[in-house]
């Protein structure tokens, strides 16, 4: 188990750039400036919220009061051979013990609520939802759509409900922000009856990040009707088109495999390639799943999914790394152009996530050649990692906005609690 006074490193933070916990503008990677929380809204009023992200083999937590982080950490290797943490109950008890040791225990009367990240809400859950027995059953029904994630999310929910049955708990769904996508963008062109019966459609993911960053980008634009493209680039990567705060398209689809090139995932691929791999390559469905999700993307192209080392290899003249970055940035540029068309025009393009926040070369190459659309990157601003990295007077602001998914989960949790209390 690890605990940190600063922002904990996530699985998407192996990407290069500043490692001092603050960007070049003086903000930490949570977007905090040490003052009023960067002007962020405090919907739901003040309150102490424990945010839990229960994964298959880890539990990440953060305790927040308003915009202030009181504690954070990670319990890892849950259920692995030789691990002192046999299951999620033990992991959550470990979290409770650590918080209690700092005088911030789960039994604290100051704890207002617990917010849980849940990966897949399907079409049933399109907003943050107070957790009840019926909601737990609904999340369980969605396990086939997210077999690696929803069971782990449920484990965290079930344990904390036993530990604090009196405390309001809220499920915040990765898919919910994308529920506003219109049918033209969410519908796959296959048999409609089959698609409806099996839930085959675009759901989108990274929703809490896209919600937070698009709201900050809208504030930066100074226009509540701003049209924003968010590029969440980490080991997982996704893009979204947002108009007046509503998502109208996103790159991830029924699963997080579709869309951009990622650390180990292929992103967009001709579906017939899967048939070819099975019929001609003799691969099983499980082997293809393993290939596309864990042995593709940057790892498959150049043997490395750490963007820091990949860009260093490019600078050293490595041809495999150069091809990998070219493919990665071509896909990004293609989505930027597509979403420009979907939105009609663009006010802000926001880079976020480990790669988006820290890799100046990727930001520059991804938007290269788009000057005719009013999109450009200023080399000096980009190298410094300024909040706005486009030239002065550019038609489209290009911004670097550190994401804060835990804060967004806490914000949505307090908003739900406040609404139901009223």
* Domain locations in the chain as residue ranges: 2-204+405-421, 223-400
Q: What pLDDT is recorded for position 37?
A: 35
Q: Does the annotation list 150 as a binding residue? A: no
Tell me if domain 2-204+405-421 and domain 223-400 are identical in fold.
Answer: yes
Percent of the chain with pLDDT over 70: 89
Vertex 241: Cα angle to 235 and 247 (nearest 5): 100
Helix locations, 174-306, DSSP H? 183-186, 192-198, 207-221, 271-279, 285-294, 297-302
Residue with tokens 């025009």: 345
Q: Does the annotation list 233 as a binding residue? A: yes
CATH level 3 topology of 223-400: Nucleotidyltransferase; domain 5 (3.30.420)
Vertex 242: Cα angle to 236 and 244 (nearest 5): 150
d(CA 219, CA 260): 26
Is residue 116 within 8 Å of 52, Cβ to Cβ?
Answer: yes
Q: What pLDDT is recorded for position 21?
A: 36
Q: Binning pLDDT at 50, 70 and 90, where does residue 422 land?
A: low
Coil, helix or strand for 2?
strand
Token pair recorded at residue 75? 């319990």
Least confident of 34-48, 101-115, 142-156: 34-48
Q: What pLDDT is recorded for position 13?
A: 33
Q: Residue 421 pLDDT > 90, yes or no? A: no
Token pair recorded at residue 322? 């150069």
410 Cβ contact partners less than 8 Å away, ≥ 6 residues apart: 49, 51, 62, 64, 115
Q: Does the annotation list 232 as a binding residue? A: yes
Least confident of 103-112, 223-232, 261-270, 306-315: 103-112
Q: Residue 43 pLDDT > 80, yes or no? A: no
Span 2-204+405-421: which CATH code? 3.30.420.40
Beta strands in 234-369, from DSSP E residues, in sequence order: 237-243, 246-250, 348-352
pLDDT in tens, 386-413: 999 999 999 999 999 999 999 999 999 9
Q: Does the annotation list 358 as a binding residue? A: yes
Q: Does the annotation list 307 as a binding residue? A: yes
Q: Residue 45 pLDDT > 60, yes or no? A: no
Sheet with 348-352: strands ordered across? 246-250, 237-243, 227-233, 348-352, 397-400
Q: Which of 23, 30, 174, 404 is catalytic?
A: 174
Percent of the chain with pLDDT over 90: 78
Average pLDDT, integer, range 128-148: 95
pLDDT in tens, 285-322: 999 999 999 999 999 999 999 999 999 999 999 999 99
d(CA 52, CA 66): 16
Q: What pLDDT is recorded for position 26?
A: 33
Going from the C-alpha of 383 to that of each of 20, 23, 31, 380, 400, the distances in angstroms are 16, 11, 19, 5, 12
pLDDT in tens, 327-381: 999 999 999 999 999 999 999 999 999 999 999 999 999 999 999 999 999 999 9
Q: What pLDDT is recorded for position 18?
A: 35
d(CA 309, CA 320): 12
Q: What pLDDT is recorded for position 388?
A: 98
Q: Based on the residue annotation, tell me whether 289 is a catalytic residue of this protein.
A: no
255 Cβ contact partners less than 8 Å away, ≥ 6 residues apart: 145, 146
Coil, helix or strand for 123?
coil
Q: Does the annotation list 133 as a binding residue? A: no
Residue with tokens 């290939």: 291
């Amino acid at each position: 188990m690890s605990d940190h006074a600063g922002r904990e490193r996530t699985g998407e933070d192996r990407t290069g750039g500043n490692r001092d916990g603050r960007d070049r503008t003086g903000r930490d990677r949570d977007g905090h400036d040490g003052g009023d929380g960067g002007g962020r809204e405090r919907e739901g009023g003040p309150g102490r919220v424990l945010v839990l992200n229960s994964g298959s083999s880890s539990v990440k937590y953060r305790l927040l009061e308003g915009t202030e982080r009181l504690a954070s950490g990670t319990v890892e290797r849950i259920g692995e051979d030789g691990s002192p943490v046999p299951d999620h109950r033990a992991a959550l008890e470990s979290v409770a013990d650590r918080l209690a040791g700092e005088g911030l225990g789960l039994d604290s009367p100051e704890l207002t609520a617990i917010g849980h990240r849940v990966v897949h809400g399907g079409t049933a859950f399109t907003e943050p939802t107070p957790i009840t027995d019926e909601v737990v059953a609904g999340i369980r029904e969605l396990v086939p759509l997210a077999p690696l994630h929803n069971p782990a999310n449920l484990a965290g929910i079930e344990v904390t409900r036993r530990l604090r049955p009196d405390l309001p708990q809220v499920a915040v769904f990765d898919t919910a922000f994308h529920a506003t996508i219109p049918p033209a963008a969410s519908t796959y062109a296959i048999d409609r009856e089959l698609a409806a019966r099996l839930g085959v459609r675009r759901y989108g993911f990274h929703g809490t990040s896209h919600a937070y960053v698009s709201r900050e980008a809208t504030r930066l634009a100074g226009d509540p009707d701003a049209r924003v493209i968010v590029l969440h680039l980490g080991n997982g990567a996704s893009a979204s088109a947002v108009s007046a705060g509503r998502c109208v398209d996103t790159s991830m689809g029924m699963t997080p495999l579709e869309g951009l090139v990622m650390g180990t995932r292929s992103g967009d691929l001709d579906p017939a390639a899967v048939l070819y791999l099975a019929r001609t390559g003799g691969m099983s469905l499980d082997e293809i799943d393993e290939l596309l999700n864990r042995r593709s993307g940057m790892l498959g192209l150049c043997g490395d999914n750490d963007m820091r080392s990949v860009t260093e290899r490019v600078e050293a003249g490595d041809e495999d790394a150069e091809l990998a970055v070219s493919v990665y940035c071509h896909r990004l540029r293609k989505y930027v152009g597509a979403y420009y068309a979907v939105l009609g025009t663009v006010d802000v393009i926001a880079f976020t996530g480990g790669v988006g926040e820290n890799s100046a070369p990727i930001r520059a190459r991804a938007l290269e050649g788009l000057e005719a659309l009013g999109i450009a990157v200023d080399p000096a601003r980009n190298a410094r990692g300024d909040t706005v990295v486009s030239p002065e007077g550019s038609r489209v602001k290009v911004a670097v906005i550190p994401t804060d998914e835990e804060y967004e989960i806490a914000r949505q949790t307090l908003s739900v609690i406040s609404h139901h209390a009223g």
